[in-house]
Amino acid sequence: MFKDFKLIAGRPVYIQVKDYMRHLIIKSALQGGQKLPSTRELSSLLKVSRNSVISAYEGLEDDGFAYTVQGQGSYVSPGAAARSSEETTPWTINWTERLSGQALLAEELDIMKRGIRAEKGTISFTSIAPDERLFELDQVRRAFMERMAVEGNVLLNYGYAKGYKPLIDYLKQYMEHKGVDLHGKDLLITNGFTEGFDLVLSALGKRHGAVLCENPTHHTAIKNLKLHGFGIHGITMERDGIHLGELEQALMEREYDCAYLVPSYHNPTGIVMSPEKRHSLMKLMQHYGVPVIEDGFNEELRYSGAHVAPLIAAGGSGNSVVYLGSFSKVLFPGLRVGWVLADQELIYYLESVKRARTIHTSTLDQSVLYQYLLGGNLEKYLKKARLEYKRKYELTLACCKEHIPYAALSGDGGLHLFVTFAEGFNTRELLAACHAQGVIFTAGELFFTDGAGQNTLRLGFSRVADEDIVKGIAIIGKTARTLMGE
Ligand SMILES: Cc1ncc(COP(=O)(O)O)c(C=O)c1O
């Protein structure tokens, strides 16, 4: 005994001694009523200071694992040892047999568990996360310190389901500056877009059980729609956004609960819906009475052209658009802060759903983000990030044009480009062949609602070094040509 004690760096020694002794008690290596080694003895056995052992024994006593007899020493509490040494037959349950259909489906749709892993040295175009090297840690640190100094104690206590009030007010103004009429609307803070979408889908009654969306679309959205039991009808994408003729046809054929749309820097195509199309789209949706869930996740990553107002702005004082915002691409996905801006009555109910599910989004995260935004850091960061991403976007675009034998190429901004090859070409085969040469990307099929898209792929460039963009795309292009028999 006591030979396997190993100190780790960064944790107080007395706590490590206490944890070690407690472990021995729980495992019945030390029995109830047994005398513990004297502090002098244990300090020499474990090669730690006597003070550390004294503090460890005090801790064991505080936690009810040991007691002291005046003038005699410390003993293992009988209760602690007896509880742990009880002879019990291990009781095992087969949890997979008891899983819900929802859990099984979630696992089945979990691409993180199925995708190709990027080994060290692989050039990976699979991510569309921001490049963390652009994050300005000093500003985040300062925002944290400033907010903690102002109201640290309050921030660490429970907060409100609706969100941190200063951030709510900030975001309302932020949305007003995008041209949104806030009349009759309210805002709820969420754990990113994904929770916002989940909350809205939870709150929506399944009157028709079906949702419209662009085809292809964001894989997480498809997954959540399926998990909520909605049927999905995807509408073809054109170079300027969703195909309105096809959309109208679908609207004429049956009724839908809502439409999920990503009008700006759509994932995966990177397409920005034209202002004219946005206008016609809203008229169409109004005509058929189908509300819109607008995903505005990437709006700020515009590199050229004029600002295009979100659909919710086009809706004026109407309440038919539910806008889901996120700072995951624009700033820090790790903070998990997003928001829902929608009709105030709907937000009233979403607030209760949110409270029942997660109580609230971390107030610490919200308040640090608020302080960061208040200090004008987003504007400064965006200036820098846009420049860098635009440079990478143009490099990726140029490399695609030079090397890839595509049939169509799209991406008006954001952090990715979408490549379509001629019908019959298979990007899974291309992926396997490129993987063997140390290059991976996302085969486009998983973004499609109807099993199509075998001839497409998405290239995320935000976290790929310039030289790897050049090298990786050359390999993809050359391999594609070989597969095409050129
Ligand atoms: C279309 C779309 N919406 C939203 C998000 C962001 O989701 P979240 O805010 O949950 O990180 C992403 C991330 O990739 C996305 O592709």
CATH number at residue 470: 3.90.1150.10
Residue range 439-480, pLDDT digits in tens:
999 999 999 999 999 999 999 999 999 999 999 999 999 999
Percent of the chain at pLDDT above 90? 92
Which one of 267, 294, 300, 323 would you pick to mutate in the ligand 1 pocket, going by the greatest count of ligand atoms within 8 A of its CB?
267
HSE-CB for 240 with a 13 A CA cutoff: 10
200 and 157, same structural domain?
yes
Q: Whose CA is nearest to atom 14 of ligand 1?
A: 128
Question: Is the pLDDT reported for residue 84 higher than 50?
Answer: no
Q: Which of 162, 151, 140, 190 is nearest to 368 (CA)?
A: 140
Which one of 188, 220, 223, 237 would you pick to mutate in the ligand 1 pocket, going by the greatest count of ligand atoms within 8 A of its CB?
220
Question: Is the pLDDT reported for residue 404 higher than 50?
Answer: yes
285 and 187, same structural domain?
yes
179 and 250, same structural domain?
yes
Q: How many angstroms separate the alpha carbon of residue 225 from the centre of ligand 1?
A: 14
Question: Is the pLDDT reported for residue 403 higher than 70?
Answer: yes
Question: Is the pLDDT reported for residue 232 higher than 70?
Answer: yes
431 and 350, same structural domain?
no
Closest ligand 1 atom to 262 CA = 1
Closest ligand 1 atom to 195 CA = 10
**Residue 196 counted as domain residue:** yes
Q: Global pTM?
A: 0.94
CA distances from 173 to 18, 134, 180, 263 (A): 52, 26, 9, 21
Q: What is the predicted pLDDT for the residue at 86?
A: 55
How many Å apart are CA 146 and CA 371, to the nearest integer?
8
Mean pLDDT across the stretch 292-316? Answer: 89
Question: Is the pLDDT reported for residue 281 higher than 80?
Answer: yes
Q: How many angstroms separate the alpha carbon of residue 447 from the centre of ligand 1?
A: 13
Residue 195: CATH number of its domain: 3.40.640.10
Question: Is the pLDDT reported for residue 304 higher than 90?
Answer: no
How many Å apart are CA 418 and CA 267, to the nearest integer?
9
Which one of 293, 326, 331 would you pick to mutate in the ligand 1 pocket, going by the greatest count of ligand atoms within 8 A of its CB?
326
Which one of 171, 200, 322, 329 would you pick to mutate in the ligand 1 pocket, going by the greatest count of ligand atoms within 8 A of its CB?
329
Per the structure block, which two tokens stand in for 208?
């028709």
Residue that is written with structure tokens 């987003």 in the block: 378
HSE-CB for 316 with a 13 A CA cutoff: 6
**Residue 2 counted as domain residue:** no
* Final residue of a structural domain among 375, 405, 424: 375
Task: Tell me the average pLDDT of the chain.
Answer: 95
Q: How many angstroms separate the alpha carbon of residue 71 from the centre of ligand 1?
A: 65
314 and 194, same structural domain?
yes
Question: Residue 73: enclosing H or E segment and its boundaries?
Answer: strand 73-76
How many Å apart are CA 237 and CA 447, to the nearest integer?
12
| Extended beta strands in 239-291, E state | 241-242, 258-261
Q: How many angstroms separate the alpha carbon of residue 246 from the centre of ligand 1?
A: 26
How many domains are there within the chain? 3
Residue range 349-381, pLDDT digits in tens:
999 999 999 999 999 999 999 999 999 999 999
* Final residue of a structural domain among 375, 400, 434: 375
145 and 162, same structural domain?
yes
CB 62 within 8 A of CB 15: no
CB 187 within 8 A of CB 168: yes
Beta bridge partners of 373: none
Residues with CB under 6 A from ligand 1: 128, 192-194, 218, 262, 267, 295, 297, 326, 328, 333, 338
Domain with 344, as residue range(s), is 135-375
